[in-house]
Structure 1
């Protein structure tokens, strides 16, 4: 079996840590570089449910997309829920490694996995300077309502479901997608001239402005807002397949798994009486 340091080196080649944003916290959180790795679990969030799953699975390495300590810490005391995750993982010899914004800008990266889950053909990056987001073409024109239904069917189910802004009957041919929070990318979306944008965590004011800025040269923009977790979970399957290929090439015989535990923090919602469908 490979050592943890060897597996981490392979992961860093896929998602170079130097490509992470300056504010990000990527890399190995805990783990002995000399420990042997035979089983790996991929997940979006390093929360207690995922730590428990990794331990029950007998994983030697847990790889998550979201950092455990994004803003740093001065303690890993088990009295805090994040410290408890660290304690439990170390106690059971499970290493934790994070690939966040360095996975967003990779090729293939988080948005490629999202486009693949939606069965879209990628034609290029949405933001070429940092390879963020993807511009895609539909296999045939469809309405905004049909595209939203596609997202609802193909992305993991969450309490939020899919929110849509725009005329449900507008015809889409080209769309942009970005895994995770994407409302900072509206300038790039407009410049790309796409018909719709699918992402997560869209806020009221950016959405209101985006839907009101239609001009003669730029028509109305359809917006599709999915749960943050749901837009990033497809990356776990893509990443697991990449590590499987590396394992086969090196003869490591790793057992690679993807968590299907829904860690989206929203648990349910009620539709207001008389609300638009």
Structure 2
């Protein structure tokens, strides 16, 4: 008969999926709050989400979860208070008062096998060939940052951007694309989260397009000037939310193997900070736009 696992056992299992020592030195991963050393603390429900914000903490409480796993850390930088008159303090108080532990898996999940970019590639329906920036400590050559992928069939850039808009969670930003709308895309590099620091690796990979989030003007402009590389820019939240489903499935598989009576849930709450989008309209006092929007979305739940 399935048994309810302890909180330390579940956290140990998740740490094995995304070892904390593989996180970047600046990162803040692992347990944030909860009775994580108590073997009597039991887990029956686990909620996965991108952001440890109040709305997600309240959702975990309503669900009756004993563990909340988020991709983004609550305290990425140092703090001197967890007082409830700060928003992060309120999150901690809400979770502790209701017996919910919090675990963050950030850059250790980014480079894992499978990792955040594998989930992004899966959501897009593209085939992973290998990591964009390989982890030199992985003899199998599967871990690393970002992924190099192939499409099943070539698509014009505009159509590939439409595909991304249809398959990724709906956000106010939608999808932006840079490049010849008719250029055929056969290979693409993807990186969940902010990826404009990887342009050297993307150029070295020789792919047709690069899909990531948070592309800034100057790095994007320089990347376009250096090569015919097409760029596809999605919302940060949208590129990382697919990992929640992948992570939940990984824990489900572990629970089955270990005989645990455990249920996993994925939050469909959109925690992207942007809530509205207005398409630019040419006016007599502004330069006329030479391109038209590829796609526009209004806020809503992940597809």
Deviation at 1:272, TM superposition (A): 1.6
Superposed CA deviations along residues 140-188 of structure 1, whole A, max 9, x for unmatched, are 0111111101100000000000011111011111110000000000000
| Structure 2 counterpart of 1:109, from 109, 115, 135 | 115
| Structure 2 counterpart of 1:269, from 269, 273, 277 | 277
2:296 matched residue in structure 1: none
2:141 matched residue in structure 1: none
How does 1:29-68 map onto structure 2 within 5 Å? 29-33=32-36, 34=38, 35-68=41-74
Instruction: Tell whether 2:110 aligns with 1:100.
Output: no
Q: Quick check: 72-81 or 235-244, which moved more? A: 72-81
Deviation at 1:83, TM superposition (A): 0.2
Q: Secondary structure at the match of 1:184?
A: coil
Instruction: Tell whether 2:241 aligns with 1:233.
Output: yes
- Unpaired stretches in structure 2, ≥5 consecutive residues: 137-143, 283-288, 293-303
Q: How many residues align?
A: 272
Superposed CA deviations along residues 79-105 of structure 1, whole A, max 9, x for unmatched, are 100000000000000000000000000
Deviation at 1:253, TM superposition (A): 1.5
Question: RMSD between aligned alpha carbons?
Answer: 0.7
Q: Secondary structure at the match of 2:198?
A: helix
2:24 matched residue in structure 1: 21
Name the CA distance, whole Å, in 2 between partners of 1:248 and 1:100.
25
Deviation at 1:63, TM superposition (A): 0.1
How does 1:1-277 map onto structure 2 within 5 Å? 1-33=4-36, 34=38, 35-129=41-135, 131-214=144-227, 220-274=228-282, 275=289, 276-277=291-292
Name the CA distance, whole Å, in 1 between partners of 2:55 and 2:76.
19
Name the CA distance, whole Å, in 1 between partners of 2:89 and 2:169.
29
Q: Secondary structure at the match of 1:137?
A: strand
Name the CA distance, whole Å, in 1 between partners of 2:7 and 2:164.
37
TM-score, normalized by length of structure 2? 0.89
Is the contact between residue 49 and residue 241 of structure 2 (CA under 8 Å) also seen in structure 1?
yes
Deviation at 1:129, TM superposition (A): 3.2
Name the CA distance, whole Å, in 2 between partners of 1:74 and 1:245.
39
Is the contact between residue 111 and residue 135 of structure 2 (CA under 8 Å) also seen in structure 1?
no
Q: Secondary structure at the match of 2:24?
A: coil
- Unpaired stretches in structure 1, ≥5 consecutive residues: 215-219
Q: Secondary structure at the match of 2:14?
A: helix
Name the CA distance, whole Å, in 2 between partners of 1:120 and 1:170.
18
Large movers: runs of 4+ above 4 Å: none
Q: Secondary structure at the match of 1:42?
A: strand
Name the CA distance, whole Å, in 2 between partners of 1:270 and 1:153.
19
